[in-house]
Every structure is written in structure tokens, then in C-alpha cells.
Amino acid sequence: MFESVRTNSMKLFLPLALLLFGFACGAALPPQVSRGAEVPSLAPMLDRATRGVVNISIHTSVRIRSPLHEFFGIPEERRPFRREQSTGSGVIVDAENGYIVTNHHVIERADEIVVGLADGRRVRATLVGSDPQVDLAVLQVEGDGLAALEFANSSAVRVGDFVVAIGNPFGLERTVTSGIVSALGRTGLGIERFEAFIQTDASINPGNSGGALVDLTGRLVGINTAIVSPGSSRGSLGIGFAIPSDLVQAIMMQLVEHGEVRRARIGLDVIALNPEEAAVFGVKAGEGVLVREIEPGSIGDIAGIEAGDVVTRIGTRDIGTVADYESAEAIIMVGDKVDVRAVRDGQSRKFRMEVDDKRVVEVDGDRVDPRLAGATLSDFRAAGDPQNGAGVLVVDVDRDSAAWVRGLRSGDVIDGANGRRIYFLVDLWQRIQNARAVELRVYRAGKFGFIRL
């Protein structure tokens, strides 16, 4: 049985035997020229590109777990540590500022990060920020003479394009493998929250995580992240996945500017259309995704998009699959203004989504749940921090309405539902939709109480 796994950073104490026996995998080569002409080589490009790929050493402190600790009842905080070291790869993308892109899973538990440069220097790196939902992190180092890779336009990449993977598999620094782009927009692997991977047959192995996937000009096409591997072998079978460079750039800009990714939530639940369904909704096969459901008060809801619309374009991206939609959604950030094209009743319509996280949206309660009919609800923001939710504010309640009869009053703050914390309207909607019984935790006049719907 095959499974998709991340190319996790490589433990340095792997047996030497594992390093000596490679995993067979076909490597694609550029076509040969006619007899007598110079044999084509990737060496000139690699002389430049490999200088931008670094080795990342991670030092982590892990508490020792022993049956003796349990037997003598030694608390967790008093148990000794052991130091572990692992390695991964990274790519210099901004030489002037010393920014390096790698995978989040390479550095997520690091106490210390040391970067090995192509010229042999080893420098400490600081973590600028990371995004586990896309599995990217940005590091920063200080030093002269850094060489950065230029970003390619990954949206222009085609199946069949030649690519080269550069990284540090099994601790073997700056290893190069070649292949082609096998597929685009791979999703549904269950590796990350947002998936639209470039698939390649260039050999990728443990330790390649965070390394570069480049085109034949040496430009960065993607960041190598995961492989498909049988059982526990964890070796390459020619099915590897890379995060596209367009997505890498968008996430990097957020991490550098804010230290975190201020990602917007469109609020649309979309599904693919088969050819018969596409004809019914007035679009061509492979054009658009159907909006099955929309979150009340979400950005998409405010823009005017409705359930039953077929979204065909977001910003500059044509949408033909759910993967296309998720890829476009992943790079919509707070502060963006994005045009959306959708087909409704056979007619193309244009919507403008304005992503303002400070906006307080009011929603009729029956949009959230019929049992809340008559109430007007809004996100209740934490004082002094408008980006963090603190519950759902009951703005107003009509007398004799369902919400009034059940006990809700103006000024109430709902901060829990069925035992789960509620931060935003969307949390309340997700928690109680389709629930037969609902118990709300409500803050009123300095006290907490419960209301059953």
C-alpha cells in the first residue's frame, strides 16, 4: 500500500548502510544533440543554482521518557532532556536581506537552527515566521556573498517540463536529481490544509524537505515537500510533491511583513461539477466549481455570492477544479480586494470581495440557524485587538421571535456552543448546523449562563 509522506528532515544518526544503497528511480534527461555536437549539460546552470540551496541543521531538546520516571512519579517538568539533531534543506530567495525559505515541518520544534552555506560557512538563523497550513517557513541569516534563486512563474509550468531537485537527502549536501513535471494541482493528499502541489519524478528523499525544484534556467519552480513511499521504506519512487513558487512568494511576503499569515476566509463550500452538471448550470465541462454552501457573514456572503453560483475565476486565476479554488483562496490575504467571476442562471456575474478583518458584520440569526430567528448577530472582537474574536454578540432581538422565546437578549455574548469555545460567527454556524440539540454558553451582566435551543 502506498502512502504520501513528508520528506521529513533526516536524522543524522541513520546507519551508513542506508546511505550506500540508493533507491532506483528513473531520471529524465534533456534530449541528446546530433553526433559531433557538444553534449548538453546542466552543469552551468547548477553552478549558479546550487549556491542558493542550503543545508539546515535543527537542534531540539526532547524530554527523556523512562518507565522509572513513571514508577517514581517524577513530574514531566523535572525529567532530563536529551539533544536531538536533524537536517533538512532550504533556499535563499533574498540575498540582500538573508531570507531563506524552507518547510514548516523542518523547523517546527527547533531550539536552534544552523544554516550550512555552499561555501562551507555555518551561520545561525532566526525564524521570521511559519505557516503550518501550507508547510512553509521563512528564516533569516546574516552574511555577505549570499546567492539567491530567482522565482519562476509556477502558473506557467506545464506537464512535461524538465525540472531539477536540489537538496540534502540523507545528509548528502547539495544532491541534484532531474526529472519532469508529472502533474499539476495535486490535492486531496491530506498533507496540508491548502494543497495544489506540483508533482515530479525527480528523486526526492528524506532530507530534501525545503529544497529547491528549479527549471532548466535555474529559477525556483517550487519547494520540495513530500513524497509517495511504500510502507516504511521512505525512499523515492518517482512521485514527489513541491509547493508552487507563486504560493511560496505570497506566503513569504506575509511572513516577512507580519510574522504570520493573515489569510482571509472566503467562506464558500465548493464542489466539482461533472460534464452533465456543468451543462445544467450553463458552463462548459471543466469550467468552474459549484458553491454548495456559504458561511453567513463571510467575505463571499458580503460580496453577494450565493449557493448555486458557479465560480469560474478568482482574481487572475481561472477556476476549473476544487484544487484551483483552494490554491486561489490560499493567497487571499487581509487587505486584498479580489474580483470574482461566477455564473448564475446562465449569466456571468462579477463580484468584488474586500477583505477587511476589522469589519464587524451583522447577520440575521436565521441565517445561522432557524432557532435564532429574530436575533441580529455579530462578531464580538477582543478589546484592543480587532483580529481576535471573543465570541458572538447579540446586537438586537425582536420580541416574540424564536430567539427571544428561547431567552436571548440584546447585549448577550455567546462564547460557547455544545461544550466548544466560540470565537467568531463562523464557529457558531459550524458548531450548531445540523445539531438536533444546542446549548449555548452566554455571558450577560458579568455572569455566565446557559440557553438551550
Question: What is the Cα–Cα distance from 391 to 415, expressed in whole angstroms?
Answer: 4
In a domain, 38, yes or no: no
Respond yes or no: is residue 69 known to be catalytic.
Answer: no
Catalytic residue among 9, 86, 178, 209: 209
Residue 379 sits in the same domain as residue 306: no
Is 236 among the domain residues? yes
Q: How far apart are CA 440 and CA 421, in angstroms?
A: 10
Report yes or no on 198 lying in a domain.
yes
pLDDT, tens digit only, all 453 positions of the chain: 333 456 554 444 333 333 222 333 444 455 555 555 567 888 889 999 999 999 998 887 766 666 665 655 666 666 666 667 778 899 999 999 999 999 999 988 888 899 999 888 999 999 999 988 889 999 999 989 999 999 999 888 999 999 999 998 877 778 899 999 998 877 766 666 677 789 998 888 888 889 999 999 999 999 999 877 665 556 667 788 999 999 899 899 989 988 888 777 788 889 989 898 888 898 988 899 999 888 888 888 889 999 999 999 998 888 888 878 887 887 888 788 899 999 998 899 999 988 876 555 678 888 888 889 888 888 887 654 545 667 888 888 888 888 888 889 888 898 888 888 888 888 888 888 878 888 898 988 778 888 888
The Cα 83–Cα 26 span in angstroms is 38
Q: Are residues 430 and 368 in the same domain?
A: yes
Options 9, 57, 104, 105, the catalytic residue: 105
Do 291 and 244 lie in one domain? The reply is: no
**Looking at 332, 354, 376, which one is the last position of a domain?**
354
Kindly state whether residues 247 and 287 are assigned to the same domain: no
Is 105 a catalytic site residue?
Answer: yes
* Residue 288 counted as domain residue: yes
Do residues 387 and 350 both lie within one domain? Answer: no
DSSP symbol at 302: H
CA distances to 55, 219, 220, 349 from 207, rounded to whole Å, are 9, 21, 18, 47
Judge whether 430 lies within some domain: yes
What CATH number is attached to the domain comprising 367? Answer: 2.30.42.10
Q: Is 135 a catalytic residue?
A: yes
Is residue 185 included in any domain, yes or no? yes
- 23 within some domain: no
Could you say which of 131, 135, 246, 309 is catalytic?
Answer: 135
Q: Please state, in angstroms and rounded to a whole number, the distance separating the CA atoms of residues 261 and 257.
A: 9
* DSSP structure string for 238-294: S-EEEEEHHHHHHHHHHHHHHSS--B----EEEE---HHHHHHTT--TT--EEEEEE
| 232 and 161 share one domain | yes
Split into its structural domains, the chain has a count of: 4
In this structure, the answer to whether residues 332 and 425 fall within a common structural domain is no
Q: Which of 360, 365, 363 is nearest to 432 (CA)?
A: 365
Range of the domain at 227: 2-9+148-258
Determine if the pTM surpasses 0.85.
no
